Structure 1
Amino acid sequence: MSGGSRRSWGWHPLVDRWAERVVADAGVRAGELVVDLGAGRGALTRHLVRAGARVLAVELHPGRAAYLRERFADAPVTVVSADAREVRLPGRPYRVVASPPYGISSALLRRLLGPRSQLVAADLVLQRALVRRWIGHNRRWELRAGTDLPRRAFAPPPTVDSTVLVVRSTRRPR
């Protein structure tokens, strides 16, 4: 993905006040393991650290991954330079709070909600039309629409509307 503008390769980072709101709405607690898929330059990561989370920040772009390593060198953040669709997910209970690239959203959701997943909760900033297709309940997951984000919540703004997909496990904790 070298060359071209942010818009041409689909990178639309959240502005700080909206990143803060997404993390606050997620209800992240101190000590929780939270995966930030498509971490970019750390808009969500910053607020996850402030909430006391241990963060696994996944970023494909090598320059942004290096920036994250430097920015969060003294924080409980592990940066992995990998494709969010292929990164090894934790084998113990974890949460996801992320704004992944919209182009990988469906594949990412199928993976996160798979039968062996240790996911307990997720708050994902996704294209609103996709969120509407995924909302509902099944035996293992409750999926609902959360906060709507205006296009100005991103810099640069995307050409589509966005919403947080709230995912909660329906399994009882052991």
Structure 2
Amino acid sequence: MSPRLRLLAALPLLLLPLSACGSDDGDRAADSASDTPSGTPSTTGTPTGSPGATDTPSSTGKYPEFEPADYVYRLRVLCFCPQVGTVEVTVADGAVTDAVIAGGPRKGQAAPEFTRLTINEVIAKANDPAAAKVQVEWPDGQDHPTSVQIDRIANAVDDEVTYAIKDVRVAP
């Protein structure tokens, strides 16, 4: 077989991994496991600060917005997408003004677009009724989640994404 024919035969296999990174809403996929039945979002803890952490199924996400408009936080997006590690996101007046890679050899470089999210944009993804499964870790008494895991399509692979939030510093 000629080199050209071998390349043409291999091309679909080479392009297949790239197709999993695309979506119409800018999200990327991840492989996350959950014991919650498909179509049933669940939550750990309560965003209102009630005592006691729970694993409570909920048919729709109704998580409250994060009130501060000016803050800096660290976000890690785990998905079937380019892994960049932790990103430091700066938010002013409720909009992302900067997002840079926080560590590793690319420290200080501009972060990819899919990581440029406010905490409210992550919460909105948890509240999306179109998601097949949502699992949120929201510690009692805290005004934001620490983890949001989303399975957008039941029984599909490579469509899951996890957002991990930490080190939130609200501007005075």
Higher helix share: 1
Q: Based on CA coordinates, which of the two structures has the bigger radius of gyration?
A: 2
TM-score category by the smaller chain? Answer: under 0.3
Structure of higher RCO (CA pairs closer than 8 Å, 6+ residues apart)? 2
